[in-house]
Structure 1
Amino acid sequence: MAVRTQDARRDRTRGRGTAGAVLAVLLLAPACSAPRDVPPGLTAREIGATLDRRAAAVLAHDTDAYLAALDPRATSFRAAQRTELRNLADVPLESWAYAVGHVTERSADRATAEVELRYRIRGYDKAPMTSSRTVELVRRGEDRTWYVAADRAAEGAPGLLWQQGDVEVVRGARSLVLGVGRRDAELRRIADTTDRAVPVVTGAWPEPWAERVVVLVPASVEDMAGLLGSPAAGYRGIAAVTTGEVGGSGRAPADRVIVNPQAYGMLGDFGQRVVLTHETTHVATRAHTSAATPVWLSEGFADWTAYRGESRTAPEIAPDLAEAVRSGGLPAQLPSDEDFGFAEDAGKLSRAYEGAWLACELIARDWGEAELTAFYEAVGSRPQREGSVERALHTVLGTTPEDFTARWREYLRARLG
């Protein structure tokens, strides 16, 4: 859903949403479910038992027990897993569990299973984060015990932060920052900025939300892309990304703000403050954002929240759109979802974000801030995109798409011309 973009050449920010991890049901203790498409049997139970032992060892930070679940002949894998467990040492885990999706290959002594890792961070996650994994297992010894011989991200699935290095943990009043390869002072500044963002967001978004944010800071944009399962080229101009569940489930999902340290580090205090306030807004509004929510509304609302208490003028915040309006390039329509694509040129992308921000500012000015929130919720409550905006414009704002678009275009002239 929510992604944050930034043109590093200027002290200004952009936002955009991206679909993130799909979240599963809450698990409070290590547990494995039997495969869904393989008849229950000894192999399934033994695979589950092996993964249960591994999960318990993670929560106990028990290196010996963790290694005992691994193939004793897989020397390199065991060394890498020892390092990975050590990298996790400071992460405050509440739960860690595996659920076997299905067994894709199985013989007398070998099995390959598609597994979902589910984990929660204590004090922050009310629902678990999930990671799709492919796990290979082998049988060894006279007792024919199953051991884990390989564990990798499933095809197309993102990686995990602790696989990139030792995770340093910085705790804020309302934030938890997990960093790899970054200085403690940098992580502390990010925590402080996120802490300041939380009450700003609460002041703009009156619905209850957790008011706590987890921020991941990898070592590089390449590592950031690895956490998103996408090519690095698409994120070089992006200061931060927010991942989490969309769909209006009503549950409080586990969101993560992922910072691109290079792009974020090139911003001044103003830009960094706006970026993290924008991303925190996405965390707050997640339960009311769905497939029915157009990108212009989710990103415009996040920018409206971030800029709401700032003193900069509209042309300072929206220079690209201001230049277009003054040059006779007034947009005919509200930005489409496609206008927010990372592949678009920087100017077009900037104009989309700026136009979205001003659309939300227009609603707050002419209808009121409470109506802007009600409009957002009304759109997100619909099961699908078709008709969602039109219906909310009618029921909440008492207007039509044609009238709203005309008023928005006139507002652009007034604010930017």
Structure 2
Amino acid sequence: MAGPLLLVALVAALLVWRLAVPDDQDEPYVVPQPSARPAAIDPAGAARALQRLATALGARDRAAATALAAADDTATVDRLGDLADVAAQARLSDVALRYIDADGGPAADGTWAAAVDVTWAYAGFDPEPSSTEVSFRFRSTADGVVVAGVGGGDLRTPVWMSGPMQVSRTADLLVVAADGVDLATYVRRARAAVPTVSSVVRTWRPRLVLEVPADVGALEAALGAEDGYYAQIAAVTGSGGTIEEGAPSHVFVNPDVFDELGKDGQDVVLAHEATHVATDAPLSKAPTWLTEGFADYVALRRTTLPLTTTAGQVARQVRDDGLPTELPTSAEFDTGGPHLGAVYEASWLACVALAGRRGPEALLRLYESVSDGKPFAAELRRDLDWSEADLLRGWRERLRTLPGAAPQG
């Protein structure tokens, strides 16, 4: 009985459908296509937007910079405004932004990421520009490509591009620090470092740049380091870009560690890093123990801190493990190493032993000649009339007599 009733129902439904549809709709139904085209990557449009941004930053024109973001994208408007502000306050020069390549396709919101080669310099401080790749986001609109984001991703984000900045600039000192950082303290500490370094490296014409990001994460993003790499480090000297001849050396601070140090510790850290700047340490060919030990020798030369503070960690290591048989190796300076503090202290005492032989001038000559690539053993003999065995004996003797280095019991 169900079969005939079902057939009648189907015929009736078909008749109702036919009556409801006009005769001119007999053709098969086709889903209408949206009028807007899918978001597309437009490298040429992005390149033009970058050129306009570089021009705006070079002219320190905040309005022109912020106009390159969509008006309703307040986060990017603010970020581009921040870039224009720091460009004006820090006097950025040689700004160039070059589109390289897209990183994947458009996202659901229509934006796409691309690598951009960024070049910049701090006028009056940097002899040559810095250069690195930075991730930008873009969006194609009816009026052209707009910038939709700056920084982040797997590429570097220079400190000056990482958010709102504070700037202090004088003839010999530039401090660029994230909002919220105690700018005045960093300026005071950096200013105190200059005469400390100049008293030993007399040929240095002070031009010190200090960059202070918001936290260790922003520091690692600026230097292209993996997460946690600088977690134990208060500051580091580098270029913020490609390391090559003529690249500028700046001091980059980890505020998470630096801010926990007392005044004496902060002074030592910045004098150490300023010594690296004064001697162009990132390009030094000297062994790491000599590079780091010399910087600590300069920073600690006039300190009144006791040896229990300046060499306490290596003293405990000697007490527990005995005297070392060789100078620290480069591998021991790994930032995640378990005895990093002791390695630095040991390197400092090696340089103290060298300076004790013929004075700080002889130590400086040795360091500079070895940094230039001359053989350490030959220069040690020429400048200090010492063999490597003599240095090892003198260093071990200093370690042996440290307070707290003697075995217990």
Superposition TM-score, scaled by structure 2 size: 0.74
Distance 1:164 1:117 in 2: 13
Cα deviation 1:243-300 (Å, max 9, x = unaligned): 2289783x3x4222222223222221111111111111111111x6535222111110
Distance 1:266 1:93 in 2: 31
For structure 2, which runs of at least 5 residues remain unmatched after alignment?
1-41, 106-110
Is the Cα–Cα contact under 8 Å of residues 54 and 66 in structure 1 kept in the other structure?
Answer: yes
Q: Secondary structure, in 3 states, of the residue corresponding to 2:279?
A: helix
CA distance 1:404–1:289, shift in 2 (3 Å): farther
Distance 1:60 1:232 in 2: 35
CA distance 1:167–1:147, shift in 2 (3 Å): same
Q: Which has the higher contact order (CA 8 A, sep 6+)?
A: 1
Q: Which residue of structure 2 lines up, in the alignment, with residue 182 of structure 1?
A: 180
Q: Pairwise CA RMSD of aligned residues?
A: 3.5
Distance 2:393 2:167 in 1: 49
CA distance 1:135–1:159, shift in 2 (3 Å): closer
Distance 2:175 2:124 in 1: 13
Distance 2:379 2:94 in 1: 41
Q: Which residue of structure 1 lines up, in the alignment, with residue 52 of structure 2?
A: 53
Deviation at 1:234, TM superposition (A): 2.8
Distance 1:240 1:219 in 2: 13
The share of aligned pairs that are identical, in percent, is 29
Match of 2:294 among 294, 301, 313: 301
Q: Which residue of structure 2 lines up, in the alignment, with residue 343 of structure 1?
A: 336
Correspondence list, 1:237-386, <5 A: 237-244=232-239, 249=245, 251=246, 253-286=247-280, 290=283, 292-327=285-320, 329-345=322-338, 348-382=339-373
Correspondence list, 1:142-291, <5 A: 147=145, 149=147, 152-153=150-151, 156-171=154-169, 174-183=172-181, 186-209=182-205, 211-244=206-239, 249=245, 251=246, 253-286=247-280, 290=283
Q: Secondary structure, in 3 states, of the residue corresponding to 2:335?
A: coil
Deviation at 1:406, TM superposition (A): 2.5
Deviation at 1:136, TM superposition (A): 6.5
Q: Secondary structure, in 3 states, of the residue corresponding to 2:175?
A: strand
CA distance 1:247–1:79, shift in 2 (3 Å): closer
Q: Secondary structure, in 3 states, of the residue corresponding to 1:361?
A: helix
CA distance 1:246–1:410, shift in 2 (3 Å): farther
Q: Which residue of structure 2 lines up, in the alignment, with residue 404 of structure 1?
A: 391
Q: Which residue identity is paired with 1:181?
A: D
Cα deviation 1:52-105 (Å, max 9, x = unaligned): 3321111223244335556x6995775354444355365322414226485569
CA distance 1:393–1:247, shift in 2 (3 Å): farther
Distance 1:112 1:220 in 2: 24
Distance 1:289 1:415 in 2: 31
Matched positions, count: 357
Deviation at 1:358, TM superposition (A): 0.6
Is the Cα–Cα contact under 8 Å of residues 367 and 397 in structure 1 kept in the other structure?
Answer: yes
CA distance 1:393–1:167, shift in 2 (3 Å): same
Distance 1:101 1:340 in 2: 37
Q: Which residue of structure 2 lines up, in the alignment, with residue 121 of structure 1?
A: 122
Deviation at 1:46, TM superposition (A): 7.9
Distance 1:205 1:119 in 2: 28
Q: Which residue identity is paired with 1:194?
A: A
Is the Cα–Cα contact under 8 Å of residues 246 and 291 in structure 1 kept in the other structure?
Answer: no
Cα deviation 1:109-157 (Å, max 9, x = unaligned): x99875321112233222222231345777776xxx9745556559743
CA distance 1:44–1:264, shift in 2 (3 Å): closer
Cα deviation 1:140-187 (Å, max 9, x = unaligned): 76xxx974555655974321334443211234564222222325xx21
Distance 2:104 2:307 in 1: 62
Distance 1:335 1:55 in 2: 46
Q: Which residue of structure 2 lines up, in the alignment, with residue 13 of structure 1?
A: none
Q: Which residue identity is paired with 1:353?
A: Y
Distance 1:205 1:58 in 2: 36
Is the Cα–Cα contact under 8 Å of residues 248 and 380 in structure 1 kept in the other structure?
Answer: no
Larger Rg over CA atoms? 2
CA distance 1:65–1:412, shift in 2 (3 Å): same
Distance 1:81 1:328 in 2: 53
Superposition TM-score, scaled by structure 1 size: 0.73
Q: Secondary structure, in 3 states, of the residue corresponding to 2:283?
A: coil
